[in-house]
Amino acid sequence: MKVTLITVAYNSASTIADTLASVATQSYPDIEHIVIDGLSKDATMDIVRTRGQHLSRVVSEPDKGIYDAMNKGLKLATGDLVGFLNADDVFNDPEAIRRHAECAARDCDVVYGDLF
């Protein structure tokens, strides 16, 4: 089962490196990670270029806000399971995606993770 993660960003230079690292270190082998950037004016895209070797797609162009950016990501997603991880969020466990994919494989309707 392929998992698509969509990260939307705008002027996220202070946080996006941690977000990218938290996805890159996931143990699950079939992750499509897409970054949609709203044409950031800071160093966000420089960090994406240097730290995003694992990324499947990167789009950096103007958008009409976060939901427009999310919809752009959804249009590019090819995974069986799709999730969002914003540019200031991280997975705190390298097994998080594996556990979500295992739950989703059991023919459930919704899989979610708690924040703490």
Domain count, the chain: 1
Mean pLDDT of the chain: 94
Q: What is the longest distance spanned by two Cα atoms in the chain?
A: 43
Q: Domain for residue 116, yes or no?
A: no
Q: Domain for residue 115, yes or no?
A: no
Higher-scoring residue by pLDDT: 110, 98: 98
Per-residue confidence (pLDDT) for residue 115, from 0 to 100 = 59
Q: DSSP of 90-106, one letter per residue?
A: --SSTTHHHHHHHHHTT
Residue 11 clears pLDDT 80, i.e. is over it: yes
Per-residue confidence (pLDDT) for residue 107, from 0 to 100 = 74
What's the domain range around 65? Answer: 3-104
The CATH code of the domain that includes 32 is 3.90.550.10
Q: Domain for residue 114, yes or no?
A: no
Distance from C-alpha of 45 to C-alpha of 87, rounded to nearest angstrom: 12
Residue 116 clears pLDDT 70, i.e. is over it: no
Residue 17 clears pLDDT 80, i.e. is over it: yes
pTM beyond 0.85: yes
Q: Domain for residue 86, yes or no?
A: yes
Which stretch of DSSP H or E encloses residue 16?
helix 16-24
